[in-house]
Amino acid sequence: MGAYLLRRLLLVVPTLLGIILINFAVVQFAPGGPVEQMIAELKGSAGSTLGRISGEGQGETRTPQRGENTGGSGEGSRYRGAQGLDPAIVAEIEKAFGFDKPWQTRLGDMLAGYVRFDLGRSLFRDKPVVDLILEKMPVSVSLGLWSTLIIYLVSIPLGIRKAVRDGSRFDVATSAAVLVGYAIPGFLFAILLVVLFAGGSFLQIFPLRGLLSPGMEAASFWERALDYAWHMVLPTLALVIGGFAGLTMLTKNSFMEEIHKQYVVTARAKGAGEQRVLYGHVFRNAMLLIIAGFPAAFIGILFTGALLVEIIFSLDGLGLLGFEAAIRRDYPVMFGTLYIFTLLGLVMQIIGDFAYTLVDPRIDFEARR
């Protein structure tokens, strides 16, 4: 297992590098970068303010310098919307955002920082990206952890029960309920929960904003824990409702496939009880597919599935941070979160392989060719 682990760890480096290089190349051709965004903000500001910044509009006359944009055709500037702005201002914006350097230098500086886990500073929040991620992490970890645990704790026993009672009324009724839940988008169910239970139109039972109520910072540990759990009820339900179907049906189908195999028939013929057959023989083989999907399920809920839920319940987490960074073209935040998400995803896949061996010790990754 040691050699296999070493190979997987070594593969993390080229995988990370390839993903970052591809995304960096795509971003170079994407319009509306941070420089263009700042230019648009300057152009949208008051005319007198813009005139003071550029040295125009105060009755001052000056001679355009060689290569300077005179404000008419926009020649001499490679940014859309820079017409009428002093090239010195554009140069200052480029320098402030680091775009006065060639792309090779910017890429090299970024990769060198990632080796030291220095993800740079946000262009618009003026804070280190690592601090921003750590600040938003508790919200997303809370949503992802509790949602994944509840989904697995409910879906696996339910899937086993459905496999044992395949074709019964219980199986048909639960299948209908699970598929209805799967058909409802998480964000739509979140809106319904807000309307019904968070003061939308009916009841005001659950809070709608944040993870703790105002003033709870000075409360005791158990009071804060209860308040935190009360805040997490509705967002967790919104994420859980759509996650049951896939895992429940996967568990059922995995058990159904194993139940009809010869070794199960042999175990029953030798007098093994139903519980012994299900959890002593079938469980190890049937759970392999479920364990394989755990890293992807956790990472998906943690970093991508919670965006709209975070917005609806006013939870300032990683999903909202990444969305705002993409909208504002905050490249350090975009690439920093991409780096962290990809690294965690690769590590979770390795952990999933270890879980394989825990469930079924017969699996030997080093023996594979």
Those residues with Cβ within 8 angstroms of residue 123's Cβ, 6 or more apart along the chain or in another chain:
34, 97, 328, 329, 330, 331, 332, 333
Q: Is the pLDDT of residue 45 over 60?
A: no
Which CATH architecture is the domain 133-367 placed in? Orthogonal Bundle (1.10)
Confidence grade of residue 54 (pLDDT, cut at 50, 70, 90): very low
Q: What is the pLDDT of residues 264-311, one digit of tens each?
A: 888 888 877 777 887 777 877 777 777 766 766 777 666 655 677 887
Both structure tokens of 95: 């320098």
Contact between residue 142 and residue 229 where contact means Cβ atoms under 8 Å apart? no
Q: Where in the chain is the domain with CATH 1.10.3720.10?
A: 133-367
At 188 the pLDDT is 84
pLDDT value at 366 more than 70: no
Mean pLDDT of 309-317: 80
Q: Beta partners for 121?
A: 128
pTM for the whole thing?
Answer: 0.70
168-224 per-position pLDDT tens digit: 899 899 888 888 888 887 778 888 888 888 776 777 788 877 777 777 777 888 888
DSSP structure class, residue 260: T
Tell me what pLDDT residue 8 has.
80
Integer Cα distance of 282 and 260 in angstroms: 10
Report the percent of the chain where pLDDT is more than 70: 78
The two structure tokens encoding residue 39: 């230019």
Per-residue model confidence (pLDDT) at position 28: 75
pLDDT score of 152 more than 80: yes
